[in-house]
Amino acid sequence: MPTPPSTDAAPAALPAVAAVVPAAPERPLTGPLPLTRTPHRLPAPSDWTFELIEQYHDVIRHTAQRYGLDTYPNQLEIITAEQMMDAYASVGMPVNYRHWSYGKEFISTEKNYKRGAMGLAYEIVINSNPCISYLMEENTMPMQALVIAHAAYGHNSFFKGNYLFRMWTDASSIIDYLVYAKNYVAECEERHGLDVVEEFLDSCHALQNHGVDRYRRPARKTLAQELSARKDREAYAQQQVNDLWRTLPRQAERAEGPAEARRFPDEPQENLLYFIEKNAPLLEPWQREIVRIVRKVAQYFYPQRQTQVMNEGWATFWHHRLLNQMYDDGYLADGVMIEWLKSHTNVVYQPKVGDRGYSGFNPYALGFAIYTDLKRICEAPTDEDRAWFPDIAGTPWVPALDHAMRNYKDESFIGQYLSPKLMREFRMFAILDDDKQSEIEVSAIHDDSGYRRVREALSRQYDLGSREPNIQVWNVNLRGDRSLTLRHFQHNDRPLDDSANEVLKHVARLWGFGVHLESANGKGDVTKRWTVPAPAH
Amino acid sequence: MALQSIIDRRLAGKNKSIGNRERFMRRYKDQIREAVRRAVDGRGIRDLERGEEVRIPKKDLSEPVFHHASGGVREAVHPGNQEYIQGDRIKRPPGGQGGGSGKGQASDQGEGEDDFSFALSKEEFMQVFFEDLALPHLVRTQLAETPEFKTHRAGYSSDGTPNNLHVVRSLRGAIGRRLAIGSGSRRELAELEAELAIAQAAAEAGDAAAKQALPMLTERVTALRERLSRIPYLDPIDLRFRSRVKVPVPTSKAVMFCLMDVSGSMDEGRKELSKRFFILLYLFLTRHYEKIEIVFIRHHTQAQEVDEENFFHARETGGTVVSSALVLMDEIIRARYSPSEWNIYGAQASDGDNWHHDSGRCREILAQQILPMCRYFAYVQVAEEEQNLWEEYTQLAQGQPHFAMRKATAADQIYPVFRDLFKKEGAAQAA
């Protein structure tokens, strides 16, 4: 019988193993590690081959490791334009349940693409483990290099590092979950009929944006915790038993108020789909499961909706940094640089207000600018930077950026890192639009008195909470007609669009009884009501 | 180093969205059917089989979600300030808020937006068309599929399967190649051999120089012989195969007569119904005949041969004499379409209204002159009331297997007129 290794030897062996794999350092590096291999010029034809992608990927990976980018393992997949359109249509996921709205998406994408009205995205990347990046077959070799650096290292490290993704998404199980969802929905269609399932999914989709948790629910208590809590309660109750008090006349039982005064749920709830899944009286078990599936998928995409600027900016910053580093090391030829830089410039182009094609801020441009500016503040701070960013000015940039990527979402990221210099460069100005005034007002511009206001306004603009109406479950009429009341809490008196009535019909279908919606202004007064009667059963 | 994978997905899983597309089509069946109906009315009989652009109003497609309306207080940041300073007041730009500032789904509000339009493929178009006509599945597949192919010999080709190898041709080729490749060497060999014979003779005669040249000559002769022997007897490039090409089975020609009453009582709805009736017969014929001609005859009290446009869209008024059309059809057949060369099909649509003395004559013309020359004659009455024409035709139908008649007041009642026609075909295919 072989002798078991002594217990002393085991811990000693561990660090040795860890030393071999330096890929994921505990703390971010303070700067790029030195080049450890002798660089060689990579071939630069315009057509790609598998060997070439392999070679480029190898160098990109090595360069990314020198900057300490921590990623999920990468899986690069070559796909055709058609497959790209397929992926587009099913919200970028490789597999999803079937629904007519994805068909609509596909048809319009296909039409636009065939007419040449739009180019397809160069890449799609999926927040999964391993991280799947799609490379389109039409791309040239320099473009493939750009996509690999952008998606497989930029986005990938963001998915793995950002706190919202860490909290809300489970990269290792999403594909499996979607496979399950697809099969489950297909099974329901078979059992209950296409129309019924389709109608039901429509209703769930209408509430998709209101089917996410913004904060974690408290974890369910374990049995042990439950037991000890019970003991505490009993001990406390025992302490309260005092026969002396029994001699006092009992207070006349407080008339328990009018029954309606107590609402159900006690506190308003913002996750409408969750509330429906748990409380809608008439749903069949399969319907509850479908609500759950839609809710889970919405939750999976919730972080992406909140980190557009950060995520795209991060990926753009890193493809720019990595490819430039590779050029400096002597890997890349001039032609390759020119080609990817051309796409890069298109991607980060920011039209000005009033330009043709202006539609708000370009998240790529804004994000890229902020990260680049952050690096500048670290490396070459001005006096202004020292005043605005005392804690990062002059510190190593790699850890500063890493921190920024991990711990913020768009709203707080802009609120924290948008510098006066950038506001000047973008020539930002804030417009206040109050419908009670006949004119709109320039409330702040890029000057000393306006920096903070502009930054605050822009930050708020990226707050999902103010972009989407705040609608919560307010009450259920438990004693009467079981109708559900939702309440819209107005923000800055912004009214709800009348299409709300259409959505309410969907809510009524899910709830099974009548549904009311009240829109309440800042003072708590209801200014508008919508009502949809119970659907016919 | 971690194992990195690059996966080639290009061959796998195309058309993943087909299921979603089908669901989309299912949902908007009504709009699509309407579009197909309009397209059928607008198209000629001959170019029915192509796709069609379908437009669906955007509001029917919207997926509602809660969103803000304009109004209230909002502050938005824009890039590219040119002239403003704090406190400037600007006139509110028309059309709501000045640039929604990254508001994702503002697009399904507002008016004047384009409809959602997409293209139906040819197959999808025909599918919807057939559904409207309530065609049974067997017939649908018959019509939708391309006709069967027969293989024909078409000369020889240099590649093919061994069972098609043509031995004689291949060997003939081999001989030619051997001759061609070897000719130079053979000529040289002959010359050398002659030289060698002379040299040998000279050597025997005691010529020292000739004796010295002998081994060299012998060597060259052997080398040439070897080279010649290396020319293969049969080489892959000699192989010839019988070439076969596929050609569609229908090879004969047919003529289709469309007869329609255009008197005042035939309104647009009835004409549309008649058009479907003609289309169906035409589609059937295209599966079976290579060349089809269509003759349009319209009539009121007089018959007239017209083109398709006038056939369906011009309006006439007046009484009705059906026999005039039949007489004209008979004349045209005799003049242009000899029954020995052409397969003749007739399709007649009418609302059953006829001058009462004429109906008997119609029956006679059909029975004695037209039906004996026709492969099939179908009559559809696009109105409910039975008048004397219907009665006369009913008598006729009893004795004539290739005469079919039916009343149809909706598109899905048309198919039964042709039931026998398709049934026969199905039976023939099964046999």
Over residues B65-108, the pLDDT tens digits come to 888 888 888 889 999 988 888 888 988 876 544 443 333 333 33
CB-CB under 8 Å, A458 with B77 = yes
Pairing of strands A515-520, B52-56: unpaired
Residues 6+ apart with CB under 8 A from B368: none
For chain A, say whether B161 makes contact (Cβ under 8 Å): no
Crossing angle (nearest 10°) for helices A194-206 and A174-192: 130
Among B118, B113, B144, B93, which residue's Cα sits nearest to residue B35? B118
C-alpha distances (whole Å) from A446 to each of A381, A389, B288, B393 are: 19, 18, 78, 91
For the record, the structure tokens of A11 come out as 């811990």
Residue window 55-84, chain B: list those with CB within 8 Å of chain A.
61-82, 84
CB A32 within 8 A of CB A66: yes
pLDDT at B217: 85
Whether a cis peptide bond, with omega within 30° of 0, leads into B248 is no
Q: Which amino acid is at B169?
A: R
CA distance A221 to chain B (A): 35
CB-CB under 8 Å, B4 with A76 = yes
Among A337, A336, A346, A324, which residue's Cα sits nearest to residue A46? A336
Residues 6+ apart with CB under 8 A from A255: none
CA distance B137 to chain A (A): 22
Among B255, B398, B235, B261, which residue's Cα sits nearest to residue B338? B255
pLDDT: which is higher, B237 or A117: B237
> A interface mutation test: which of B11, B17, B56 has the most A CBs within 10 A?
B17
Residue window 40-59, chain A: list those with CB within 8 Å of chain B.
50, 53-54, 57-58
d(CA A503, CA A511): 12
**B266-308 pLDDT, tens digit each:** 888 888 888 888 888 888 777 777 778 889 998 888 888 888 8
Q: DSSP character for B79?
A: S
CB-CB under 8 Å, B77 with A461 = yes
d(CA A300, CA A326): 34
Q: Which residues of B are less than 8 Å from A431 in CB distance?
A: 75-78, 90, 98
The CATH number of the structural domain formed by A469-532 is 3.30.300.250
pLDDT at B256: 87
CB-CB under 8 Å, B80 with A462 = no
Which part of chain A has CATH 3.30.300.250?
469-532
Count of residues for chain A? 537
CA B260 to chain CA mean position, Å:
27
CB-CB under 8 Å, B16 with A430 = no
**Banded model confidence at residue B329, pLDDT cuts 50, 70, 90:** very high
Among B69, B366, B396, B409, which residue's Cα sits nearest to residue B272? B409
d(CA A229, CA B85): 62
Whether B193 shows a pLDDT value over 50: the answer reads yes
Among A535, A532, A534, which residue's Cα sits nearest to residue A518? A532
Name the most confidently modeled range: A411-420, B149-158, B223-232: A411-420
Percent of chain B with pLDDT strictly greater than 90: 4
d(CA B237, CA B239): 5
d(CA A410, CA A306): 6
Return the number of other C-beta atoms located less than 10 Å from residue B274's C-beta.
Answer: 27
Q: Which residues of B are less than 8 Å from A100 in CB distance?
A: 20, 23-24, 26-27
Residue whose tokens read 């605050």:
A456
CB B191 within 8 A of CB B220: no
Question: Can you tell me the mean pLDDT for B363-390?
Answer: 86
pLDDT at B401: 77
Out of A102, A351, A352, the one facing B20 most closely (by C-beta) is: A102
Return the number of other C-beta atoms located less than 10 Å from residue A155's C-beta.
Answer: 25
Residue whose tokens read 């949902």:
B27
Q: Which residues of A are less than 8 Å from B99 in CB distance?
A: 353, 358-360
pLDDT at B423: 64
Phi, psi of B250 (to 5 degrees): -60, 125
d(CA B137, CA B135): 6
> A interface mutation test: which of B65, B67, B82, B90 has the most A CBs within 10 A?
B65
C-beta pairs of B155-161 under 8 Å, 24+ apart in sequence: B155/B243, B156/B240, B156/B241, B156/B242, B156/B243, B157/B240, B157/B241, B157/B243, B158/B237, B158/B239, B158/B240, B158/B241, B159/B239, B159/B241, B160/B241, B160/B242, B160/B243, B161/B241
CB B77 within 8 A of CB B312: no
C-alpha distances (whole Å) from B148 to each of A76, B155, B281 are: 45, 22, 19
Percent of chain B with pLDDT strictly greater than 70: 85
HSE of B16, CA atoms in CB hemisphere, 13 A? 27
Out of B74, B97, B118, the one facing A111 most closely (by C-beta) is: B118
Region at A200 (left for phi over 0; alpha for psi -120 to 50; beta for the rest)? alpha
Assign A165 to helix, strand or coil.
helix
Q: Which amino acid is at A99?
A: H
Assign A469 to helix, strand or coil.
coil
Q: What is the pLDDT along chain A (537 residues), one digit of tens a residue?
A: 333 333 333 333 333 333 333 344 455 577 788 888 888 888 988 889 999 999 999 999 999 999 999 999 999 999 888 888 888 777 778 888 989 888 888 888 887 777 765 566 667 888 998 899 998 888 889 999 999 999 999 999 999 999 999 988 888 888 899 999 999 999 999 999 999 999 999 999 999 999 988 887 777 778 888 888 888 888 887 776 665 555 655 555 555 445 446 788 888 999 999 999 999 988 999 999 999 999 999 999 899 989 999 999 999 999 999 999 999 999 999 999 999 999 899 889 999 888 888 888 999 999 999 999 999 999 999 999 999 999 999 999 999 999 999 999 999 999 999 999 999 999 999 999 888 888 899 999 999 999 999 999 999 999 887 888 999 999 998 888 889 999 999 888 888 988 899 999 999 999 999 999 999 988 888 989 999 998 886
Can you point out the beta strands (E) in B101-183? 116-120, 149-157
ipTM > 0.85 for the complex: no
What order do you get walking across the sheet with B303-306 strand by strand? B303-306, B291-299, B253-261, B342-350, B376-381, B403-407
pTM for this entry = 0.72
HSE of A249, CA atoms in CB hemisphere, 13 A? 2
CB-neighbour burial class of residue B10 (10 A; exposed 0-12, middle 13-18, buried 19+): middle
Among B215, B39, B13, B63, which residue's Cα sits nearest to residue B119? B39
